[in-house]
Amino acid sequence: MKILILTGSPHKKGTSNTLVSEFKKGAVEAGHQVEIYDCAHGNLHPCLGCDACGMNGKCIQKDEGNQVLAKILESDLIVFATPIYYFGMSAQLKMMIDRFYAQNGNITRKHMKAILLTTAWNDDEIVMKGIKTHFEIIFDYLDFQNAGMILAKGAGTVGMMPRKYLEEAYSLGRNL
């Protein structure tokens, strides 16, 4: 499978990117082709809502967004990786998801697989409630098949992240 991972953390070696590394290790070992696009450090700007794309064309923003959209359309699986920011995904990742608008129909028609990897400092029940529901709705809307979600609670730093989440991320990639 061709896998595109969209990451949304400003911490290149932080918790969500550590889950990404474990997932990637497993997926590469299983023979998949994996590419990562770093939404937090790439040249990306927000959707302007101008509708120049008509939800079916090129975005007028002169940045890397159109290239990422082209990569998505060549992929079989998208992995979304983000820290929890105020009970949701980071703005860095959301910025790229909003840019899906320019290729909304083509992305939906691909019936891709999708995975969510996310990390939060807190360990209580409520911390993952919003993001889980949000991504379930996004996956449903874009006709993505939910291939797994790792919701790592009590994972505020790499040192405090429970080991089970690293093992889960590796297994998810290895057993795709």
Ligand X SMILES: Cc1cc2nc3c(=O)[nH]c(=O)nc-3n(C[C@H](O)[C@H](O)[C@H](O)COP(=O)(O)O)c2cc1C
Provide the binding-site residues for ligand X, judged by CB under 6 A: 9, 11, 14-17, 83-87, 119-122, 127, 155-156
Minimum distance from residue 119 beta carbon to ligand X (Å) = 4
* Nearest CB to ligand X, comparing residues 8 and 65: 8
The helices-and-strands tally (H runs, E runs) of the chain is 6, 5
Minimum distance from residue 59 beta carbon to ligand X (Å) = 26
Round to whole Å and give the CA distance between 155 and 98: 27
* Nearest CB to ligand X, comparing residues 21 and 171: 21
- Which helix (H) or strand (E) is 46 found in, with range? none
Minimum distance from residue 86 beta carbon to ligand X (Å) = 5
Minimum distance from residue 9 beta carbon to ligand X (Å) = 4
* Nearest CB to ligand X, comparing residues 14 and 173: 14
**Residue 56 DSSP label:** S
* Nearest CB to ligand X, comparing residues 74 and 124: 124
Distance of CA 133 to the CA centre of its chain: 15
CA distances from 18 to 33, 51, 159, 176 (A): 19, 36, 11, 19
